[in-house]
């Protein structure tokens, strides 16, 4: 099933990449019944869509309203700028410069400084379950190159000495990493980017839009017909969605082992989300986590962190902070949904047998 899924995803990505020739393109999506309609739409119901491949992700942004194209073009340009700043592999990126700076202090772009400060706050808040310095461990497993392997625990223990968000010194836009520390904004970059795209679209007066950056969905307002957006929550064990969440003016971000993984010679599945306390792929009993909240960056960092924490700690985190909603899927095929979301969530018919639990503050 998983091999099939990989083939499907690969075919889909290859086709998409061929189609887009790896470049951003803006299509005016006219009303299907009237493909010749012009850009100016007095009914304000037409959408402009931009599709691009960036940050290793196939992205689609759909904005409704008049003259959305300039805003979409600006968003695409900004996405590529951020990709260049934050790539871990591109020698021209700021993250690459920091990771290879041999302990020197580097002055970074305000966006990078802000993203790193935010990542530090989230690392603190999650007691290091989210830790953007986990990169050397990730590399040892081969997730950065695709040359997968299972490192010995002794090797991981040595690498873990280099991990720890508190080692990163951020003074305004001046950032210092100890010589052996390496960072990776992979768990927060797309959420952060979605926030920036949202701000660009809103600045240009767009009040209805869908920003889909892979597993990161962000919606502005409602659909033009006044209804909520329907966001599919991927079924880890099935082909389609476990259910659909109706959402407006928020971010819906999922983390899951299904996104990138390999099966070791021992037959076990190892995925790309690392538990910084062990150096191994998180083995918390959760197979997918979706966080619903106001900001993409916040939901993105948190979905990764809660995936590492597991059901009990995630629930405790929700009870202590209460500033987000979540949908957790466990290895045992159970779904946990925080109160309030159940009204907007519809379980897929194919999963009608699934046990769904509502987490309530009063319990």
Contact residues for ligand AMP, defined by CB under 6 A: 130-132, 134, 138, 184, 186-187, 255, 259, 272-274, 276, 300, 303-304, 308
CA 230 to chain centroid, in Å, comes to: 18
Give which of Mg ion, ligand AMP, none residue 259 binds (C-beta under 5 to 8 Å, depending on kind): ligand AMP
Closest to ligand AMP by CB, 130 or 262: 130
SS3 state at 62:
strand
Closest-approach residue to Mg ion (CB): 304
Q: Least CB distance from residue 36 to Mg ion, whole Å?
A: 42
Q: Least CB distance from residue 257 to ligand AMP, whole Å?
A: 10
Beta strand 334-338 with 280-281 is unpaired
Q: Which sign does the torsion angle of CA 16, 20, 23, 29 carry?
A: negative
Q: Least CB distance from residue 114 to ligand AMP, whole Å?
A: 17
Closest-approach residue to ligand AMP (CB): 186
Closest to ligand AMP by CB, 204 or 259: 259
Give which of Mg ion, ligand AMP, none residue 184 binds (C-beta under 5 to 8 Å, depending on kind): ligand AMP
Closest to ligand AMP by CB, 233 or 347: 233
Q: Least CB distance from residue 45 to ligand AMP, whole Å?
A: 33
Cβ pair 350, 308 in contact under 8 A = no
- Going from the C-alpha of 245 to that of each of 34, 142, 251, 291, the distances in angstroms are 30, 34, 11, 11
Structure tokens at 235: 């079924």
Closest to ligand AMP by CB, 210 or 273: 273
Q: Least CB distance from residue 60 to ligand AMP, whole Å?
A: 18
CB atoms within 10 A of CB 246: 16
Beta strand 280-281 with 286-293 is unpaired
Instruction: Convert residues 134-173 into a mask of x (bound to Mg ion by CB under 5 A) and - (unbound).
Output: ----------------------------------------
**Distance (Å, rounded) from C-alpha 55 to C-alpha 52?**
10
Closest to Mg ion by CB, 206 or 251: 251
Give which of ligand AMP, Mg ion, none residue 235 binds (C-beta under 5 to 8 Å, depending on kind): none
Alpha helix locations (H) across the chain? 2-20, 69-86, 94-99, 110-125, 135-140, 153-160, 189-203, 296-309, 311-321
The residue with tokens 């995936």 is 307
Give which of ligand AMP, Mg ion, none residue 262 binds (C-beta under 5 to 8 Å, depending on kind): none
Give which of ligand AMP, Mg ion, none residue 245 binds (C-beta under 5 to 8 Å, depending on kind): none
The residue with tokens 């466990």 is 330
Closest to ligand AMP by CB, 63 or 233: 233
Closest to ligand AMP by CB, 72 or 123: 123
**Distance (Å, rounded) from C-alpha 163 to C-alpha 129?**
12
Cβ pair 186, 30 in contact under 8 A = no
Based on its alpha-carbon atoms, the radius of gyration of the chain, rounded to whole angstroms, reads: 21
Instruction: Convert residues 293-312 into a mask of x (bound to Mg ion by CB under 5 A) and - (unbound).
Output: -------x--xx--------
Name which of 126, 90, 103, 261 is nearest 182 in CA terms.
Answer: 103
Which of positions 166-225 make contact with Mg ion (CB under 5 A)? Answer: 187
> Going by C-beta distance under 8 Å and a sequence separation of 6 or more, which residues neighbour residue 222?
208, 228, 229, 248, 249
Q: Least CB distance from residue 295 to Mg ion, whole Å?
A: 12
Give which of Mg ion, ligand AMP, none residue 246 binds (C-beta under 5 to 8 Å, depending on kind): none
Site residues (CB under 5 A) for Mg ion? 187, 300, 303-304
């Amino acid at each position: 099933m998983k091999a099939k899924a990989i083939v499907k995803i690969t075919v889909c990505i290859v086709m998409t990449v061929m189609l887009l020739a790896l470049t951003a393109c803006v299509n005016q999506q006219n009303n299907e019944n009237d493909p010749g309609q012009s850009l100016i739409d007095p009914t304000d119901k037409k959408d402009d869509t931009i599709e691009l491949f960036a940050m290793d992700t196939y992205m689609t942004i759909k904005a409704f309203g008049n003259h959305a194209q300039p805003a979409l073009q600006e968003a695409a340009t900004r996405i590529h700028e951020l990709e260049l700043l934050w790539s871990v592999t591109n020698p021209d990126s700021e993250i690459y410069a920091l990771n290879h700076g041999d302990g020197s202090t580097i002055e970074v772009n305000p966006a990078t400084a802000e993203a790193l400060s935010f990542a530090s706050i989230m690392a603190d808040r999650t007691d290091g379950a989210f830790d953007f310095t986990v990169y050397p461990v990730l590399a040892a497993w081969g997730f950065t190159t695709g040359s997968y392997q299972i490192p010995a625990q002794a090797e991981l223990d040595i690498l873990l000495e280099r991990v720890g968000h508190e080692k990163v010194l951020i003074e305004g836009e001046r950032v210092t990493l100890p010589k052996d520390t390496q960072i990776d904004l992979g768990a927060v970059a797309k959420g952060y980017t979605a926030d920036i795209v949202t701000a660009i679209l809103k600045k240009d007066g767009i009040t209805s839009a869908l920003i889909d950056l892979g597993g990161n969905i962000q919606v502005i307002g409602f659909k033009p017909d006044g209804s909520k957006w329907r966001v599919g929550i991927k079924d880890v064990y099935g082909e389609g969605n476990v259910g659909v969440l109706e959402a407006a003016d928020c971010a819906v971000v999922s983390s899951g082992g299904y996104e990138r993984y390999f099966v070791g010679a021992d037959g076990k599945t190892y995925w790309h989300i690392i538990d910084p306390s062990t150096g191994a792929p998180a083995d918390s009993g959760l197979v997918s986590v979706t966080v619903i909240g106001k900001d993409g960056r916040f939901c993105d960092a948190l979905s990764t962190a809660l995936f590492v924490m597991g059901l009990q700690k995630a629930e405790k985190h929700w009870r202590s902070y209460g500033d987000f909603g979540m949908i957790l899927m466990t290895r045992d095929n159970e779904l946990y949904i925080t109160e309030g979301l159940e009204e907007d969530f519809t379980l897929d018919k194919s999963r009608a047998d699934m046990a769904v639990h509502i987490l309530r503050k009063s319990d």
